[in-house]
A and B are shown apart, each in its own frame.
Chain A
Amino acid sequence: GNSVTQMEGPVTLSEEAFLTINCTYTATGYPSLFWYVQYPGEGLQLLLKATKADDKGSNKGFEATYRKETTSFHLEKGSVQVSDSAVYFCAARENTGFQKLVFGTGTRLLVSP
């Protein structure tokens, strides 16, 4: 089955700093890839996704590119805000059967003013 590895947190940044959260996956096929965000006290929300190699997902200033050659889907943002403080989960979805999601361990981002 699929598995997802993402960098340990917490990641602590000052406002307007550049963000990278690494994510790599292993899969037998070609999964769809996702980043979810979980704000304190809330459920997971889809942040962005990519369904095939070289696709770039983007939303709210965040971007991630599906790199098949490195099996990676790193999350980036050029200038973080305090409101971006949350836990970020990378996930892979098999494209057969139940289309189940497999999550990474989550990375907590703390942005200070």
Chain B
Amino acid sequence: GAVVSQHPSWVICKSGTSVKIECRSLDFQATTMFWYRQFPKKSLMLMATSNEGSKATYEQGVEKDKFLINHASLTLSTLTVTSAHPEDSSFYICSAREDRKSSYEQYFGPGTRLTVT
């Protein structure tokens, strides 16, 4: 149980275009989802926290107009990188949590590698 999927697993896009990444909880309802960015040989940096049906809360320094997050249902959150540039190339990871459970454990997706050319 507690499986989180991401789609696509990798994507290449041209500079100036937008790309959408999906994060799905397959066997549980995710009241809260998190989006992280992972640079090579670096840690995971939290970008934003999203709760179903409400606006995402972005971490300091993350441009909310550039990284649009939508958590429209209890099983799906999307991250849209708008007007992508080469510096947005990175590994994006989502996690999901079922807040009814007091453990507050996050389950992680396998990640999406974005390359902007």
- Interface residues in chain A, defined as those with a beta carbon under 8 Å from any beta carbon in chain B: 36, 41-46, 89, 93, 98-106
Contacts and interface: CB of A to CB of B under 8 A. Distances in A.
Nearest to A9: B41
Contacts of A98: 32, 49, 57
Nearest to B97: A99
Contacts of B95: 44, 101
A75 B40 CA distance: 23
A103 B44 CA distance: 6
Contacts of A42: 110
Contact of B110 (A43, A103, A104): A43
**Chain B interface: which size bin?**
20 to 34
Q: Is the interface of B mostly helix, strand, loop or mixed?
A: strand
Interface in B26-70: 32, 34, 41-44, 46, 49, 57
Contacts of A46: 105
B32 A45 contact: no
Contact of B43 (A43, A93, A99, A106): A106
B84 interface: no
Given A43-B108, A44-B108, A105-B43, 17 more contacts: A36-B108, A41-B110, A43-B4, A43-B109, A44-B95, A45-B108, A46-B105, A98-B49, A99-B97, A100-B34, A100-B46, A101-B46, A101-B95, A102-B46, A103-B43, A105-B41, A106-B41
